[in-house]
Chains A and B, each alone.
Chain A
Amino acid sequence: MANEHDAAAMAGDVAHGAAEAAGHAASNAGMPQLDLTSFPNQIFWLLVTLVVIYWVLSRIALPRISAVLADRSGTISGDLAAAEDYKLKAREAEAAYEKALADARAQAQKIVAEARAEIQKDLDAATAKADAEISARATESEARIAEIRAGAVEAVEAVAKDTAGELVAALGGKADATAIAAAVGARVKG
């Protein structure tokens, strides 16, 4: 029952296929790939397609893409060269800057040394002057001190003589001025 049905369906299928294929019997047998009647059609349209693709590629697409690629590699190498150039310039500028900095530093050091030397000279002169003044003052002061000391010794002697004379007189003696002077002088000196 089922088999009969199957066979009928198959037959129907084949008939339908035959109607559809209309004139080329081979297609019903199996693979449409082996249906020789469709070959001229496929080959013709394939050749048309290939020619169109080839034309589009060789006339438009490939020149354009290769131009873009060449352009890009040109731009890239140009940019790289420019970058290298800039790098070199930057390095030069850095070197110049370093040199200027070093020069300035050396200059500054020189100026500082000069100023220091000048100041030292001034300082030395002022010190020498002050020393001289101080020693002059010291000498003067010493002289005055000596004078005062001498004056003081004399005054002590005179006061001692007077006091001694007065003491002798007060004790009821008779003061011999010369003896007193000699005694006091000896004492004071001693």
Chain B
Amino acid sequence: MTEEHSEGLAFHPMDQFMVKPLFGDGPIHWYTPTNVTLWMAIGVLAIVLMLVVGTRGRAIVPSRAQSIAELTYGFIHKMVEDVAGKDALKFFPYIFTLFLFIVVSNFLGLLPKAFTPTSHIAVTAVLAMLVFVTVTVVGFVKNGTHFLGLFWVSSAPLALRPVLAVIEVISYFVRPVSHSIRLAGNMMAGHAVIKVFAAFAPLVLMSAVGVVVTPLSILAITAMYGLEIIVALVQAYVFTILTCVYLKDALHPSH
């Protein structure tokens, strides 16, 4: 009896990640406006509202919106300066762009029915590769072959150094993988779990068990949502601070 009812529950936790065309049902070409386009555009709009419209007063004593913009600016500016050093500040707009895109995408993705670009490995892999390529190029341009000293741990015993070099090289190339999968995985997992709990919520309409299950699932959704708010910020923070750490390696490769 119950089984028959629970068949009515729709489990599509991954549907929220589907890339769909905005208009019509056609195939997705690289230029097709999709829900990706829509939510990235909303993200850009949010950033413009926060950092451009919010600061239009240029007030010495800031308004609330301007305070938010200034605090965000100060937060990342200080992070770049503290972690990567003063000479990394010329990369600050670049790092700030990454942080804002990730944090805004993460938070917008928490809206019901929203699409989360940062839950896609395609997006986070591009972000991570941008960082990886930038760091590698900057490392070689700034330090030349000294940049390879990053892999040659001069503080270790000589016999161990070749072994460590192999490990260092591997870990260097694994960086973009972990960098991107960490973000996408976190975003995807949380959203999927919320969706799974949400699928249990309408059970009260179908079965007597729902009297217990529905409140529990709603409670679980609320708890997960709270956790996801933290994760949204923490993952953006982690991505950004790792970018700063990698950049520090490129600028000052000596251990």
Residue numbers of A with Cβ under 8 A of B are 2, 5-6, 9, 20, 22-24, 27, 30-35, 37-50, 52-54, 56-58, 60-62, 64-69, 71-72, 75
Contact = CB atoms under 8 A, between A and B. Distances in A.
A5 B4 CA distance: 9
Contact of B34 (A45, A56, A62): A45
A45 B40 CA distance: 8
Interface of B: 3-4, 7, 14-15, 17-20, 25-32, 34, 36-37, 40-41, 43-44, 47-48, 51-52, 55, 58-60, 62, 66, 69-70, 73-74, 92-94, 96-98, 100-101, 117, 119-123, 126-127, 130, 184, 188
B97 A45 contact: no
A24 B119 CA distance: 20
Contact of A41 (B19, B96, B98): B19
Contact of B55 (A20, A45, A48, A64): A64
Contacts of A61: 51-52, 55, 69
A54 B28 contact: no
A23 B27 contact: yes
Contacts of A48: 40
A27 B18 contact: yes
Contact of A56 (B40, B47, B69): B47
Given A33-B120, A33-B121, A53-B97, A64 B58 contact: yes
A2 B1 CA distance: 10
A31 B43 contact: no
Given A53-B47, A53-B101, A56-B47, A43 B122 contact: yes
Contact of A49 (B19, B26, B43, B93): B43
A47 to B, nearest CB: 7
Contacts of B7: 2, 5-6, 9
Nearest to B105: A49
A22 to B, nearest CB: 6
A57 B30 contact: no
Given A32-B17, A33-B184, A71-B60, A49 B100 contact: no
Nearest to A19: B25
Contacts of B123: 42-43, 46
B25 A53 contact: no
A41 B52 contact: no
A83 to B, nearest CB: 16
Contacts of B55: 61, 64-65, 68
24 contacts: A2-B7, A9-B7, A22-B25, A32-B19, A38-B28, A41-B29, A41-B34, A42-B36, A42-B117, A42-B120, A45-B37, A46-B36, A46-B117, A48-B40, A49-B40, A49-B44, A50-B97, A50-B101, A53-B47, A56-B51, A57-B97, A62-B73, A66-B73, A72-B60
B4 A54 contact: no
B58 A33 contact: no
A45 B123 CA distance: 9
A47 B92 CA distance: 18
Contact of A39 (B18, B101, B122): B122
B126 A37 contact: no
A23 B32 CA distance: 14
Contacts of B52: 56, 60-61, 64
A22 B48 CA distance: 36
Given A22-B25, A22-B27, A61-B69, A33 B100 contact: no
Nearest to B118: A46
Contacts of A52: 44
Given A42-B122, A58-B93, A61-B51, 5 more contacts: A32-B17, A62-B73, A65-B51, A65-B70, A65-B73
A24 B28 CA distance: 9
Contacts of B28: 24, 37-38, 41
A66 to B, nearest CB: 8
A28 to B, nearest CB: 10
In the complex, the 3 A-B pairs of residues with the closest C-beta atoms, listed nearest first: A40-B30, A61-B51, A38-B19
